[in-house]
Chains A and B, each alone.
Chain A
């Protein structure tokens, strides 16, 4: 298992380098210009000067090499400096956003907590709702509950957040006036009242996102439970005189969890990726909003850094899922 993990980690290094090159080339070959947003009243010579100041005049391989050095050599030094108070990175040029002329990593650090809170919370809420629904739907197969559950989850799965988002805003913020439509990112939780406010402003985005998660995971849970409920070992357990609770919750559920856990683990990187549309609608200053903003502004260093971090996370969580799979199911061995 250990050699497998090490081998996979080593293979992922060239993979990630290749991914970063592909991202870089795709971004640079696309017909985009960071000066596109500049008003027409700014003369072309001035725009050209601004492009040069951003380092756009250099050949592609120089730009790519610079980014590699900044990301893999200078940024880790900044991190070390931050934790140990050293000064390795002093005077070094970091990955700088073209929009804000500030280090990209600083903005990611600033935005990650909001994304983890909102998207992470919706993931947890989604899972907590999805599992019981999936279990009960499978147990009472084709019952009214199962039909209703199937209907609701299919609806939830097929309606995109750019529709549900504004819908819940119109209902809960405009018509009923119960909840705020925008997420106040400056809000600090210091006592009970501020905690309630924080809770209130999280309700709508979490609700929209959880709907998607719930729909997806409860479908997996239901299918997996159905596969197991007809197995011989279930009949054996019942024949032994075990109560229905023990049969379903101990025997069937445990075996059914294996594929569901994999799905949950593989979806974890999407938490870090944020929820582009939902964050934009509710003005949550998360990673997803940062990414879409950078794409609109053609801020290549930010897009490149963010997408590369996502790539790293996806590669890492894939590896993690493989390892966990081996731990859950002793029959699976990679060596």
Chain B
């Protein structure tokens, strides 16, 4: 058995290994299809995945995350850490060293001035930079010499890898963008459509919301890469069409993010032209419990704010019973197939921060009923539980989306089995997630008892993500309903742990704290009821080699290593 495994592994390794005589631009054209079309190639003006990933072919950061969430240097010599002296011991500065001899695609050298310019460009307050959050707490950027960049922060940063790490924060060329700073950034069409970069490809033609034509970068740092001479990046259509064009007709080599029903993908794969691949980041589909009273009878300043606690969801037994009644395995099977896994955690990945809880793996309707009985929630004549005149009647909202509506009706059925009445509601995604303070239907306002959506975090560090649930960070009228603590959760012990996490630089210790925080929100309090750990399914043609699906960075992060198998 072991030998067979080894042989299999060796066989796989052989097929995966790039041809020995790899040569730049020897493999012709590679074509990629994204069903959302790129609008702009400047990630500082758009946070759309389509724009970030298409621009990642051209412009690169100092370092990227690999498919396991580890960091690898790209333009930098190495990833600075406390251990190698790159990060100061007070965690307030990080020193990056650029690789020697890196050139822009126009032949000029990349210097620390370009890196500093990139930060100044985004931090300009008139610009409306989409990645401003990456530069939080940065006080200054110094360039002692042409290859060294020192980023200083206002406070200790246990995770100093915001600026210049990952697909959202690539380096742009100072010479090209010099006259595009501040308010002028918006009108620099030529620059925004054709940034000069260090990546494996250069833009030859950009048609907004349609197609990008690229060719191999003659000045790319690895003389044997990329294997492809040209690259076509087509955008538009729908996930179904994109999947079909790779798996069934073979017109394209790579299709991104096939959000399709599992049986549809399986059927397409029978076409035999390609394979679907899945990767998991930290995206979790969850139920959020409202700890405040969304009753329409309350006035606008009190409704769904901490001034009015929820009549029954503040009882942990109710929240726990609602979670116990759910059969998550069935949800995964119906909604996501390959692209989903059951999870009981808010932070399911990376491994360092994953609690790997299993308390919710199996459905327990009888247990949920017993729990509610013992907590004093008695079934009335209509089969609905009540206590002190408060009925367990839930308004459950989410965005309009076929899978979410399936989930809603299943969960409604399970909840009815434990004596909970559920009213379902779905809202257009652009309204629900739109954040318009005048609309009563946003997920921030949470004028419902339970709502369902998915959220995730950038990079591999969940500190900011976990900080969302700090006391006082809830959406409220005083902040125009902005805020990220959607449940209105508040626990001083949680905040204290968060503060400790903010002071801790030691990686293993951070993992421990992260798991504790995760458990406080999920296992210990059922404030957030995780349902499905959602992955991403993409597809590539059988003849395309070197693809490694990465959910921690741009999916096209290693496009320089892609090659044609024949």
Closest residue on chain B to residue A43 by CB atoms: B133
A-contact bits for B38-63, CB 8 A (1 contact / 0 none): 01101001111100000000000000
Q: Which residues of chain B have C-beta atoms less than 8 A from A36's C-beta?
A: 429-431, 433-435
Known: A32-B434, A36-B434, A101-B40. A182 touches B241 (CB 8 A): yes
Question: Is residue A132 contacting chain B, with contact meaning CB distance below 8 A?
Answer: no
Q: B238 within 8 Å of A by Cβ?
A: yes
Determine the chain A residues whose CB is within 8 A of the CB of B211 once the complex forms: 185-186, 285
1/0 per position for A137-172, CB-CB distance to B under 8 A? 000000000000000000000000000001001000
Pair B40/A52 contact, Cβ less than 8 Å: no
Binding site for B on A (CB under 8 A): 31-33, 35-54, 93, 96-97, 99-103, 106-107, 110-111, 166, 169, 173-174, 177, 180-182, 185-186, 280-281, 283, 285, 289-290, 293, 296-298
User: Please, how many angstroms separate the alpha-carbon atoms of A52 and B48 in the complex?
Assistant: 18
Q: Which of B126, B207, B251, B455 contacts A285 (CB 8 A)?
A: B207
Query: How many A-B contacts are there with CB distance less than 8 Å?
Result: 166
* B64 → A minimal CB distance (Å): 17
Other-chain residue from A40, A106, A166, A283 in contact with B455 (beta carbon distance below 8 A): A40
B384 at the interface (CB under 8 A from A): no
What residues of B have a CB within 8 angstroms of the CB of A100 in the complex? 39-40, 189, 192-193, 208-209
Instruction: Determine the distance from Cα of A229 to Cα of B185 in the docked complex, in whole angstroms.
Output: 67
Q: Are B241 and A31 in contact (CB under 8 A)?
A: no
Could you tell me if A283 and B47 are in contact, using CB atoms closer than 8 angstroms? no
A159 to chain B minimum Cβ distance, whole angstroms, is 19
Contact of A46 among B133, B252, B433, B457 (CB under 8 A): B133
Name the A residues within 8 Å of B185 (CB-CB).
Answer: 53, 101
Q: Is the CB of A39 within 8 A of B47?
A: yes
- Which parts of B19-34 form the interface with A (CB within 8 Å)? 33
Whether B72 sits at the interface, judged by CB under 8 Å, is no
The 8 A-B residue pairs with the shortest CB-CB distance, nearest first, are: A53-B128, A285-B210, A33-B434, A44-B482, A102-B189, A36-B430, A99-B39, A100-B208
At the interface, yes or no: B213 with Cβ under 8 Å from chain A? yes
CA distance A173 to B244 in the complex (A): 10
Residue contact B129 to A46, C-beta cutoff 8 Å: yes
* Alpha-carbon separation in the docked complex, A285 to B209 (Å): 8
Residues A49 and B458 in contact in the complex (CB < 8 Å), given A99-B40, A293-B236: no
Cβ 8 A contact of A47, one of B244, B430, B435: B435
**B209, A32: Cβ atoms closer than 8 Å:** no
Neighbouring B residues of A96 by C-beta, 8 Å: 186-187
Q: A280-B238, A283-B237 are in contact. List 14 more A-B contacts (CB 8 A).
A: A33-B436, A38-B130, A39-B456, A40-B455, A42-B133, A44-B482, A46-B131, A46-B133, A53-B126, A99-B40, A99-B46, A180-B249, A182-B245, A185-B207
Would you call A293 and B232 a contact (CB within 8 A)? Answer: no
Contact A281–B241 (Cβ < 8 Å) = yes
Given that A37-B430, A182-B251, A186-B205 are known contacts, is A49 also in contact with B132, CB under 8 Å in the complex?
yes
Residues of B within 8 A of A (CB): 33, 37, 39-40, 42, 45-49, 125-133, 183, 185-189, 192-193, 205, 207-211, 213, 232, 234, 236-238, 240-241, 244-245, 248-249, 251-252, 271, 429-431, 433-436, 438-439, 441, 455-458, 465, 482-484
Q: Of residues A49, A102, A180, A290, which shows the largest number of chain B Cβ atoms within 10 Å of its Cβ?
A: A102
CA distance A240 to B458 in the complex (A): 86
Chain B's closest residue to A299 (CB) is B39
> Quick check: B244 and A181 within 8 Å, CB to CB?
yes
Q: Kindly list chain B residues whose C-beta atoms are within 8 Å of the C-beta of A33.
A: 430, 434-436
* B237–A281 CB distance below 8 A: yes
Find out whether the CB atom of A38 lies under 8 angstroms from the CB atom of B47: yes
Q: Is the CB of B186 within 8 A of A53?
A: yes
Contacts A33-B430, A46-B129 given; does A41 touch B458 at CB 8 Å: yes
Partner among A173, A281, A293, A298 whose Cβ is within 8 Å of the Cβ of B430: A298
Please list 18 pairs of residues, one from A and one from B, whose beta carbons are closer than 8 Å in the complex, sorted by A's number: A32-B436, A36-B431, A37-B430, A44-B435, A46-B133, A49-B128, A54-B186, A96-B187, A100-B208, A102-B189, A110-B207, A173-B249, A181-B244, A182-B237, A280-B236, A283-B236, A285-B211, A297-B39
On whether the beta carbons of B128 and A174 are closer than 8 Å, the reply is no
| Chain A residues in 8 Å Cβ range of B430 | 32-33, 36-37, 296, 298
Residue with the greatest number of chain B CB neighbours at <10 A, chosen from A44, A97, A111: A44
A48 and chain B: residue at smallest CB distance: B482
Residue of B nearest to A279 (CB): B236
CB <8 Å contact, B244 and A174: yes
In contact, A31 and B40 (Cβ under 8 angstroms): no
A53 in contact with B237 (CB, 8 Å): no
